[in-house]
Chains A and B, each alone.
Chain A
Amino acid sequence: MKVSENIQDLLHLFAGEKIILTTYSPLQKMKDISLAPSKQEYFSNYFIRRKEKASPDEQRMFKAWLKNDFYPVG
């Protein structure tokens, strides 16, 4: 199977399986790379959001910090 712009599709299709990719190295040699999925997750996405419910102390801290009244997410 040729991989060009579809590597995510390939990895998704064979999720959970070991995959051998034949690649072209910067030194113009063919090289086999073995990919095995990890149980550990990498490159997660992180972001901040306001809580759905915040205690009065937390709301006070929010206002003192940002000089904006707290309003819940949603």
Chain B
Amino acid sequence: MRYKISAPHPVNHLIEIEMTVENPSGAEMSFQLPSWRPGRYELGNFARNVQRWNAFDEKGMPLPFRKTGKDLWQVNVNDASAVVIRYNYFAAQLDAGGCWLDENQLYINPVHCMLYVPERMHEACEVSFDLPMSYKLATSMEKLSDHVLKAQDYHELVDSPVIASPTLQHKAFTSGSTIFNIWFQGDCKPDWNRVVEDFKKFSEEQIRTMVDFPVNEYHFLIQILPFRFYHGVEHLKSTVLALGPGSNLMEPALYIDFIGVASHELFHSWNIKTIRPAEMLPYDYTRENYSRLGFVYEGVTTYYGDLFLVRSGVYSVDQFFMEINARLQKHFDNYGRFNLSVADSSFDTWLDGYGPGIPNRKTSIYDEGCLIALMTDILIRTKSKGQASLDEVMRTLYRDFGKRKIGYTESDYLSIVEKLSGESMADFFMDYVYGTEDYEPLLSESLSLAGCQLVKRSSTFDSEKYFGFKTILSEGKTIVKQVAPRITGRYSRTGQGRRNYQCE
């Protein structure tokens, strides 16, 4: 599979792509563009950014084609010995998961814009870039030459973002047998000594905990923007972080976010890129890949992203608590916690997982998932009398499933947690992961076992405290942002001794 990428007119944001498939079999051949990207569990419908699409034979003669799906094209191959698809892609989304083209850089997430032939996804992919010689390429893909890359198969290709630019800043460090690369694109002046020292600390802490790293080379690809921005997307051998404003990179507020998202995305190399729910192994790029395990692949990652930072000394204990406090506050402010469990909210990320959604409907695989991970960790430590923790759970998943390329199920996760706890954890999972039981009592109890307190203080705003609504001020207007639902049945007990809540 060969792809050629060029950008003759960067100002119009249109990337030109030519895909060549040799030795087509059959009278017709299908070409598919992914409808979503791993890491964001909702449909992206990237085909909407394709402006022009044509098929040719090896001599440049047009081949007939028609669309048979929103992101699926069928080409009449006739007697062609090769099929060449020429199309363009509108690259005007500069975040950690998009594509962008301008006079300063070409940035692609191939999952957005690289077609595949469904029955030939296992074939190696070669990608050549027709760019000025001053452009360097930052990517985890193998470099055949300065501007030619190779991926082992389509899955690796679409898991390998590329930044091509003449202004990349780069440093590398080694931890164990792994080379870590840090690339900055955009206006910023990183304090390289501090950045490398901190990245090395949390990377080594993660590797110590998980025993080894899944790959031997890793790339942090950092897009620096001139305005306030925060986003990260994981890949097996790399991550893209998008942060801003670049002028504030080394200021405490943004630097803490920078380190936090970098640690989070690195842990994804184990948790989701290697340790994968069975329903996503392999990824099906054409449709929703439903899973109720978001509380593991995002929740546990959110928890560990910050935990590794405090364990490695990059964060202070107080800083770690501030990060957890943010999750706690979002959880307790969200009355959707009484309506939809974190497991069901994971399933529904495909519906409304990345926006606020309607009031009080759902929870978050990141926020509630993080708190579930925290409680699971302390419960395992307590029940096992300090002999095990969530660390062992993740190591077991990595050793018994991830390394063997076997997907794990919900029952696999519960079984491992129970085995390491030495006790049943079924009630915990039923009440808090698959149910909507109030987290507060168990959080308070868990934190107490670790020498900490969960402190609850009344809001200082009367609208929040007594009247149940939050407001913000905007352009001289008071805007009601959130209203607490009327809660009935509070603290009434049902047959199983559980509290019964109902939102109206």
Q: Is the CB–CB distance between B307 and A3 below 8 Å?
A: no
Say yes or no: is B27 at the interface (Cβ < 8 Å to chain A): no
Q: Is the CB–CB distance between A47 and B451 below 8 Å?
A: no
Given contacts A37-B466, A43-B459, A43-B484, contact A49 B453 (CB under 8 A): yes
Residue of B nearest to A45 (CB): B457
Q: Is the CB–CB distance between B459 and A42 below 8 Å?
A: yes
What's the tally of chain A residues with a CB closer than 8 Å to chain B?
37
Interface residues of A in 36-51 (CB under 8 A from B): 36-38, 40-51
Say yes or no: is A20 at the interface (Cβ < 8 Å to chain B): no
Residue numbers in A under 8 Å from B461 (CB-CB): 8, 43
- For residue A38, give the distance in angstroms from its CB to the closest CB of chain B: 6
CA distance in complex: A36, B466 (Å):
8
Q: Is the CB–CB distance between A66 and B317 below 8 Å?
A: yes
Q: How many B residues are at the interface, by size bracket?
A: 35 or more
Given contacts A4-B476, A4-B477, A42-B484, contact A62 B455 (CB under 8 A): no
Q: Is the CB–CB distance between B455 and A11 below 8 Å?
A: no
Residue numbers in B under 8 Å from A44 (CB-CB): 332, 456-459, 465
Q: Is the CB–CB distance between A42 and B450 below 8 Å?
A: no
Interface residues of B in 435-485 (CB under 8 A from A): 447-459, 461-468, 470-471, 473, 476-478, 482, 484
Residue of B nearest to A56 (CB): B451
Say yes or no: is B196 at the interface (Cβ < 8 Å to chain A): no
Given contacts A5-B476, A60-B386, A61-B381, contact A43 B311 (CB under 8 A): no
CA distance in complex: A38, B485 (Å):
12
Residue numbers in A under 8 Å from B471 (CB-CB): 7-8
Q: Is the CB–CB distance between A48 and B458 below 8 Å?
A: no
- Of the listed stretches B15-23, B240-248, B318-326, chain A binds B318-326
- For residue A44, give the distance in angstroms from its CB to the closest CB of chain B: 5
Residue of B nearest to A59 (CB): B451
Q: Is the CB–CB distance between A41 and B465 below 8 Å?
A: yes
Residue numbers in B under 8 Å from A70 (CB-CB): 451
Say yes or no: is A29 at the interface (Cβ < 8 Å to chain B): no
CA distance in complex: A57, B307 (Å):
20
**CB contact between B478 and one of A3, A15, A36, A45 (< 8 Å): that residue:** A3
- For residue A37, give the distance in angstroms from its CB to the closest CB of chain B: 4
Say yes or no: is A67 at the interface (Cβ < 8 Å to chain B): yes
Residue numbers in A under 8 Å from B470 (CB-CB): 43
Q: Is the CB–CB distance between A47 and B321 below 8 Å?
A: yes
Residue numbers in B under 8 Å from A46 (CB-CB): 325, 328-329, 332, 454-457
CA distance in complex: A49, B329 (Å):
14
CA distance in complex: A66, B458 (Å):
29
CA distance in complex: A65, B376 (Å):
12
Given contacts A37-B467, A38-B466, contact A48 B457 (CB under 8 A): no
- For residue A71, give the distance in angstroms from its CB to the closest CB of chain B: 8
**CB contact between A61 and one of B378, B458, B463, B476 (< 8 Å): that residue:** B378
Residue of B nearest to A12 (CB): B462
**CB contact between B328 and one of A5, A35, A47 (< 8 Å): that residue:** A47
Q: Is the CB–CB distance between A58 and B457 below 8 Å?
A: no
Q: Is the CB–CB distance between A41 and B332 below 8 Å?
A: no
Say yes or no: is B377 at the interface (Cβ < 8 Å to chain A): yes
Show 10 A/B contacts (Cβ-Cβ < 8 Å), sorted by A: A4-B476, A4-B478, A5-B473, A37-B467, A38-B467, A48-B324, A48-B325, A61-B378, A66-B311, A66-B317
Beyond known contacts A43-B333, A44-B458: 9 more, CB 8 A cutoff: A11-B462, A42-B459, A42-B468, A43-B461, A47-B321, A48-B453, A54-B451, A65-B389, A66-B311
